[in-house]
Amino acid sequence: MKRQSTLSIAISLTLLLSMKTFVPTAHGQQGHRFRGGTGVITVGIGQILRITVNTGSGNDKLRVRFAWMRYMPAGCNNDGVCLHTVQSQGITAPVNVGAGEAASYDVQGNGNGVRVGVLVTAGDFNSDARADALIINSATGEVTSHVVIWFVEGDF
């Protein structure tokens, strides 16, 4: 009788342990990732490229990073097609943006190309995050160009 009892306990434990392996492990919520960017823009001397991200309406909470690349000319061919190479690049530390808040990143123009990417992590897939790119005249503060940045899902 004792042998049957031990055997049934062993089988029960084996079944419990094997069932435990099929239970999905809970992970911390990673959030949904969205990215957008300016493409390469030539920002003149005396101009600022300002990228802003805001939460729109609702209770969105975002984690925002800005990645940038500065380009320099690498020469042109006879057809007028010019190449540019990356001169410097980097990425900012993440910033938390709450409901009703915004974050911005400024790049001073130097007459060469610059590209700024925006990486947003939002807790909600239906996040209402918005981003804009503005070219501003440094002397007057006048906005000379405004572009809406569209987000797609995924990383840089």
* 107 or 8, higher pLDDT: 107
Q: 155 is written with which tokens?
A: 């990383």
Q: What is the total count of domains within the chain?
A: 1
Give the model's confidence band at 156: pLDDT under 50 very low, under 70 low, under 90 confident, else very high. Answer: low
Q: Which residues contact 112 (CB under 8 A, 6 or more apart)?
A: 42, 70, 71, 72, 73, 84, 87
Could you give the 3-state DSSP secondary structure of residue 153? Answer: strand
* 66 or 54, higher pLDDT: 66
For residue 19, is pLDDT > 80? no
Say if 121 falls within a structural domain.
Answer: yes
For residue 29, is pLDDT > 70? no
Instruction: Say what the pLDDT of residue 11 is.
Output: 40
Q: 81 is written with which tokens?
A: 């097609």
Instruction: Say what the pLDDT of residue 10 is.
Output: 40
Say if 24 falls within a structural domain.
Answer: no
* Average pLDDT taken over every residue of the chain: 80
Q: 121 is written with which tokens?
A: 């992590």
Say if 49 falls within a structural domain.
Answer: yes
Instruction: Say what the pLDDT of residue 140 is.
Output: 95
Residue that has been written with the tokens 């590209």 in this structure: 115
Say if 26 falls within a structural domain.
Answer: no
Say if 46 falls within a structural domain.
Answer: yes
Instruction: Say what the pLDDT of residue 5 is.
Output: 46
Say if 99 falls within a structural domain.
Answer: yes
Share of the chain above pLDDT 90, in %: 56
CB-based contact 68:110 (threshold 8 Å): no
Dump pLDDT digits (tens) for 89-139. Answer: 999 999 999 888 999 999 999 999 999 999 998 876 556 788 999 999 999
Say if 14 falls within a structural domain.
Answer: no
| Residue 64, domain CATH | 2.60.290
* d(C-alpha 95, C-alpha 85), whole Å: 29
Give one DSSP letter per residue of 98-139, joined into a string. Answer: -TT-EEEEEEE--SSEEEEEEEEEESSTT---EEEEEEEETT
* 3 or 92, higher pLDDT: 92
CB-based contact 101:54 (threshold 8 Å): yes
Say if 4 falls within a structural domain.
Answer: no
Domain holding 79, by residue range, is 32-153
